[in-house]
Amino acid sequence: MSSKRWNAKVDRRTVLKLAGAAVLARASGALADRRRTDLRTRLSVEFGLRTPLSSAGMAFVGLTDLASAVTNAGAIGVYGVGLEPPPAFAARLQTLREETSGPFGVDFLVGAPGAPITTQDHIDIAADARVPIVAFHLDVPDPAWIRQLRAAGSKVWVQCPDVDQAQRAVAAGADGVIAQGLSAGGHNRNSTIPTLELVQLIRRAVHHRVFVLASGGISSGRSLVQAIRAGADGGWAGTVFVAAAESYAHPGYKARLIAAKGPDATVFTRRFGPEAPGQQQRVLRNRATDELMSAVPTTIGTTTLFPGVLPTPYTLPKYSVLPPTRDTTGDLSEMSMPAGADSVQAVRAIRPAADIVDDFIADSREHCDRDDD
């Protein structure tokens, strides 16, 4: 694939605030669409991005359609592996390679109670495929996995709720830290530290070469600029992409994101998860989060696991941790629907991922030179 070297024209104030120096970046023609971007960081330069943004690696809803759409729009699309077994993971990687030639990532869960979700076979497949970015969530992975992936050429990122875990991740060899703030949706062990404050704390605590991405409230160009001014190299956005047209989320889930407004739209809970008990999540508030705990009904619907590659019927138990997807039947008021407290306020319609990325770029241009954000 041919590439084109191009200059980013930014004024001195923007450079001082956001990048530290003017740089030349190599960006692929189709991926960057050969359009100028005003928001430059080390992340956008290294990966040839139109904007320093990554979609979050959301299990069940962030599959290859969404990941490839985000990458093809000029950001980093991340496929959430979740519970998918190695054969399903390998099949999806092949699909991603066919759908995009730009930088993409995969997201693994580690440290959940019960049987291991991510195995050595997953890591071997990712290393053999030379996945550009491999992210881990819930805990720091085995340092041997990090060494194996980095030896294959992958960048390894770890999502962290506090400085301690960020330092452990870097000590284990991670190239990047995703600072998961208080408002972030989904599995989130940070109950106290707002996103921008956590970004600042982690930025001071780790080596300057380590990428820091902000997670929680990244829903617009303005929020992305604020995160970069706080010390982040880019943003990690989940909720706004759950509502993307390419997301595998259930239409009713997307509709509830659009309707959810106000400070009480989401809630922290440990209620969901017979499949992985005891894990704190931020989800949309609904009947299941607000009712008194109950053992009935014993099941709340059905779904299909590993759709399109190894379709497997699954009956959802009461308080299942699995979010509703296109294949889910049942009462969504009984289901877990992860959402960020701040980002959900920005979801107003179901739109293509490319339009969402374009809006980030346009909005960041408006705000990157302003001092009042």
Same domain (yes/no): 218, 360: yes
Per-residue pLDDT at 39: 81
CA atoms within 13 A on the CB side of 281: 26
Residue 88 in this model has a pLDDT that exceeds 50: yes
Q: Which residues pair with 304 in a beta bridge?
A: 313
Give the tens place of pLDDT for each residue, 259-296.
999 999 999 999 998 998 889 999 999 999 999 999 89
Same domain (yes/no): 322, 239: no
Residue 8 in this model has a pLDDT that exceeds 70: no
Per-residue pLDDT at 373: 57
Q: Is residue 153 assigned to a domain?
A: yes
Signed CA dihedral, 257, 258, 263, 264: sign only: negative
Q: How far is CA 279 from CA 100, 112, 113, 188, in A?
A: 34, 8, 9, 8
Same domain (yes/no): 175, 265: no
Residue 28 in this model has a pLDDT that exceeds 60: no
- Segment 304-311 shows an average pLDDT of 98
Number of folded domains that form the chain: 2
Same domain (yes/no): 148, 165: yes
Token pair 């390998």: residue: 90
Same domain (yes/no): 361, 215: yes
**Rounded Cα–Cα distance for residues 249 and 237 (Å):** 15
Q: Is residue 3 assigned to a domain?
A: no
What is the token pair recorded at 20?
A: 């530290």
Residue 96 in this model has a pLDDT that exceeds 80: yes
Same domain (yes/no): 120, 240: yes
Token pair 């941790």: residue: 321
Per-residue pLDDT at 116: 82
Give the tens place of pLDDT for each residue, 323-348.
999 999 999 999 999 999 999 999 99
- Segment 137-145 shows an average pLDDT of 97
Is residue 185 within 8 Å of residue 339, measured between CB atoms?
Answer: yes
Residue 369 in this model has a pLDDT that exceeds 80: no
* Polymer length in residues for the chain: 373
Q: Is residue 29 assigned to a domain?
A: no
Per-residue pLDDT at 165: 98
Q: Is residue 183 assigned to a domain?
A: yes
Strands 186-187 vs 176-180: parallel, antiparallel or unpaired:
unpaired
Same domain (yes/no): 141, 276: no
Q: Is residue 372 assigned to a domain?
A: no
Same domain (yes/no): 193, 330: no
Give the tens place of pLDDT for each residue, 150-201.
999 999 999 999 999 999 999 999 999 999 999 999 999 999 999 999 999 9
Give the tens place of pLDDT for each residue, 199-253.
999 999 999 999 999 999 999 999 999 999 999 999 999 999 999 999 999 999 9
Per-residue pLDDT at 35: 38
Per-residue pLDDT at 253: 98
Q: Of all residues in the chain, what percent carry a pLDDT higher than 90?
A: 84
Per-residue pLDDT at 368: 78
- Segment 302-314 shows an average pLDDT of 98
Same domain (yes/no): 217, 290: no
- Give the structural domain span for 331: 251-343
**Rounded Cα–Cα distance for residues 126 and 283 (Å):** 30
Q: What is the CATH number of the domain that holds 237?
A: 3.20.20.70
- Segment 50-70 shows an average pLDDT of 98
Same domain (yes/no): 336, 350: no
Average pLDDT, the chain: 90
Q: Is residue 10 assigned to a domain?
A: no
Residue 16 in this model has a pLDDT that exceeds 80: no
Q: How confident is the model at residue 372 (pLDDT cuts 50, 70, 90)?
A: low
Same domain (yes/no): 277, 362: no
Same domain (yes/no): 101, 224: yes
Residue 13 in this model has a pLDDT that exceeds 50: no
Quick one: DSSP state of residue 163?
A: H
Q: Is residue 6 assigned to a domain?
A: no
Q: Is residue 224 assigned to a domain?
A: yes
